[in-house]
Amino acid sequence: MTFRNLTSDEVNFMIFRYLQESGFKHTAFSFANESGVQNCAFRGSEIPPGVLISFIQKGVQFLEIETRIRNKTDQVNYDTVFEMLLPEVPKEKLFARTIPDSIASSSTTSASLSGTTTATPNRSKSSAQIASSISSSSLSNAATTSSLTTTTTSTTSTPSSTTTGRRKNSNAEKASSGSARNGSGRPSKKSKQTPTPSAATTTAAATAASTRDSHVMQDEEDAVMTMASGGAGAGGTGVVQQGATPSSTEDHQQLPILIDDSQVTKLKGHTHEVFICAWNPVRSNVLASGSGDSTARIWELVKNEVGAQAAPDQPIVLHHGDPVLDTFNQATTKDVTTLDWSADGKKLATGSYDGKARIWTADGQLKAVLDQHKGPIFSLKWNKQGNYLLSGSVDNTAIVWDIETGSVKQQFAHHTAPTLDVDWRNNTSFATCSTDRMIYVYELGTKDPIRTFAGHEDEVNAIRWSPNGSLLASCSDDFTAKIWSFGSSSSSSQKCVFDLKEHTKEIYTIKWSPTGPGTDYPNRNMVLASASFDATIKLWDPTVGKCLHSLTKHTDPVYSVAFSPDGKYLASGSFDRFLHIWSVHDGKLVKTYRGTGSIFEVCWNSTGDKVAACFSNSLTEEFNVCVLDFHM
């Protein structure tokens, strides 16, 4: 009997797929180019997720059988799998403690229920029995899935901040080198974006995806409902199906409603991660989305319809590269990382990983390509008047574009590292922030910053001006958010007014409520929301620097929050696949929806009756924009 050997191309392809599935997009890109896997004759769609881990796991199991037979023992107490490769197994390893069947069975069951790693399962079977079981269906992908899932659940339930932070840093690094596509949520700074789960999360999920069946999905749904309800000892409120009557045991408190799929419109068509979405500010049924498939799309929902009936027949597709001629190497540099509608709703600006900003009409006509940046664009904002567009790039600069002429009005180059976010204060003044930890405020026509805000101890991820432009909020990887006063000081350098320190991990985004001075609701208090990798959202009173509410139902990093137009509700999206809607008044969860993948962006339409969210799951290749109908 002859056995087939793996070819180097097959090994390289499995490594490439593992790097992709684990979120190492930069490394995967470099490896693909050096190994030439894109030229191999493999059909990626026919190769199951987690194939490398499946091969390795089966190899480990056969290696263990070989070791047991060679040493004539039923048990070997290994500390690591690498000890199996030793020519001789130390004698002290040959006699491991035996776990009674009853205890092993109990421990295994407990592990599957609690999602934590327990004692080593019973290994008292004979080598012959083990060999027999391995050759049977128990060593199918399903068995591998079970093994991997059990041992990694406790690790993957809450991705570490270091993993997410690494994605962001690597994105900036690869962007600055210009060598690869960003791999995170928005390929921008999430890296800003990829939205890619941690390596452990992706590996376990990839293997599970190839064998998951209906009853496993039901078990997952049950676990999700337990999480959403706060758990037995979590102290959270429960969740009820839409239309159900809350239990009287909840002390008469209103329970959050689980939004039914019939109230959700799924907009399908993107073929890679969807990083960003934004509603047209004038036409409340028109939504734009941007993706890693090198396209943006404009969706016009059917008015007065909900669910599947509201989905348009075809979106308007805005191609950022030639869909036919783009090669493997070229297409990956045109991810649409950011987009923004002009205030009149007539123009859409998109920023791309190729360093170009593009201006489109609302019906999809390309009007201008703004080509001055030397690196990916991470942030893009129109001023209220609509005559200037502001962009921030990994090339360390920010540019104000004159839309009438399509030329550079002024370029600002004071940052010493990638510019992560920009925000207008008024029609001619704006702020920028960077991985260099600095925040600058500029006025068009002036060469140097008119304000410099220094104080963060790590990368500054986002900045937002309050509605009246008097305060600037910022958030950082140093676990803090800060509030700065623009003031009228003659000094260009100022200290922060409030240092908000209650988060325990990196803060990714912040948003001001549309209430208080400068809004349509001037008599209502202003609120600041911050979202963090610690899986919480905090609502702050910016006048005293006090935390009003800590919103704690998410279990993974929170990447996006958005206030409803009236400021009464806050939507949040997380890597845990949940979109939650909270009451700003009391901080309670009022509605929730579980999607099919990680959420990178959430946003409300101008009338406050629809919430859009970008869901991305690279393992199941589901990249949807979901629109939820919201009524209280």
Quickly list DSSP for 388-426.
EEEEEETTS-EEEEETTTTEEEEEE---SS-EEEEEESS
DSSP-derived 3-state class of residue 624: strand
- Summarised one tens digit per residue, pLDDT across range 500-511 is 999 999 999 999
Residues 407, 385: Cα–Cα separation, whole Å: 17
Give the Cα separation of 121 and 104 in Å (integer): 5
Do residues 276 and 339 touch, judged by C-beta distance below 8 A?
yes
The tally of CA atoms less than 13 A away on the side-chain side of residue 165 is: 17
Rounded to whole angstroms, the Cα distance separating 64 from 69 reads 9
pLDDT tens-digit series, residues 532-543: 999 999 999 999
What are the distances in angstroms from CA 48 to CA 30, 60, 136, 371, 612?
22, 20, 20, 40, 31
Where on the phi/psi map is residue 23: left (φ > 0), alpha (ψ -120 to 50), or beta?
Answer: left
Domain boundaries, the chain: 8-180+197-218
SS3 354: coil
Q: What tokens appear for 413 in the block?
A: 């180059």
The closest of 263, 247, 367 to 307, measured between CA atoms, is: 263
Structure tokens at 279: 């509603």
What pLDDT does residue 117 have?
35
Q: What gap in Å lies between CA 454 and CA 225, rounded to an integer?
A: 44
Write down the pLDDT at residue 257: 86
Residue 197 structure tokens: 């789960």
Per-residue pLDDT at 508: 97
Q: Is the pTM of this model over 0.75?
A: no
CA distance 178 to 384: 32
At 62 the pLDDT is 80
Instruction: Give residue 194's Cα distance to chain centre.
Output: 6
Residue 106's pLDDT is: 40
Distance CA 135, CA 465 (A): 63
Which residues in the chain show pLDDT less than 70?
1-3, 38, 41, 43-46, 71-72, 74-79, 81, 83-255, 322-333, 488-493
- The identity of residue 583, as a single letter, is S
- Residue 294 CB contacts under 8 Å (≥ 6 apart), including other chains: 319, 320, 321, 323, 326, 331, 334, 335, 336, 352
Supply the DSSP string of 447-481, one letter for each residue.
Answer: SS-SEEEE--SS-EEEEEE-TTSSEEEEEETTS-E
Relative to beta strand 481-485, strand 498-500 is: antiparallel
C-alpha of 263 from chain center:
23
Q: What confidence score (pLDDT) does residue 144 get? A: 37
CATH of domain 8-180+197-218: 1.20.960.30
Cα end-to-end distance, the chain, whole Å:
69
Q: What is the pLDDT of residue 397?
A: 98
Strands (E), 327-371: 336-341, 347-352, 356-361, 366-371
Alpha-carbon distance 599 to 608, whole Å? 20
- Give the Å distances, CA to CA, from 560 to 49, 102, 226, 441, 526: 28, 46, 23, 24, 19
d(CA 398, CA 400): 7
Look-up: residue for tokens 């797929």?
A: 17
Token pair listed for 474: 């910022």
Residue 58: φ, ψ to 5°: -65, -35
Contacts of 110 (CB under 8 A, 6+ apart): 118
Place of tokens 């140097």: 448
Please give the C-alpha separations between residue 576 and each of 277, 340, 476, 611, in angstroms, as whole numbers. 19, 26, 22, 18
Pairing of strands 419-424, 407-412: unpaired
Q: What is the DSSP string of 3-21?
A: -PPPPHHHHHHHHHHHHHH
Q: In the prediction, which pLDDT does 130 show? A: 35
Q: 408-425 in b/e burial notation, b at 16+ Cβ within 10 A?
A: ebbebebbeebbbbbbbb
Q: Return the H-helix or E-strand segment holding 532.
A: strand 528-532
